[in-house]
Amino acid sequence: MLIVSKYLVPNGFRGLTVFPFVVLKQRESVIDAVLLNHEKIHLRQQLEFLLLPFFVWYGLEFLWHFLRQRDVKSAYNSISFEREAYANETDLHYLKQRSFWRFLNYF
């Protein structure tokens, strides 16, 4: 389900996903196939992890990278879930061929 709300998405981000919702900051993003594909990859990741473990892993991985790099943006970009999503967001057929727990290849 798509929601458009500039108040729910943190500054510096265009969207966020919390299964089953994809929240976009701007209405124009609803037609951005690459952004939507990126968020759909996160939906799949969250389903595979049964939600709560996804967010625990995500948070711990962010913390680990932040402690090592001392930079929020670098830590965010180093998270395996984000690395998978960014690496494959332009491949609109990626989810059809994606194997289970594929994010581990980016860990």
Query: Over the stretch 30-73, which tens digit does the pLDDT of each residue have?
Result: 999 999 999 999 999 999 999 999 999 999 999 999 999 999 99
Q: Confirm whether 69 is domain-assigned.
A: yes
Q: Confirm whether 10 is domain-assigned.
A: no
User: Which domain range does residue 100 map to?
Assistant: 32-106
Q: Confirm whether 38 is domain-assigned.
A: yes
Q: Confirm whether 14 is domain-assigned.
A: no
Q: Confirm whether 7 is domain-assigned.
A: no
Q: Confirm whether 27 is domain-assigned.
A: no
Supply the pLDDT for residue 32. 98
Q: Confirm whether 23 is domain-assigned.
A: no
Q: Confirm whether 40 is domain-assigned.
A: yes
For residue 14, the tally of other CB atoms under 10 A from its CB is 15
- Domains in the chain: how many in total? 1
Task: Judge if pTM exceeds 0.85.
Answer: yes
Banded pLDDT at 107 (limits 50, 70, 90): confident
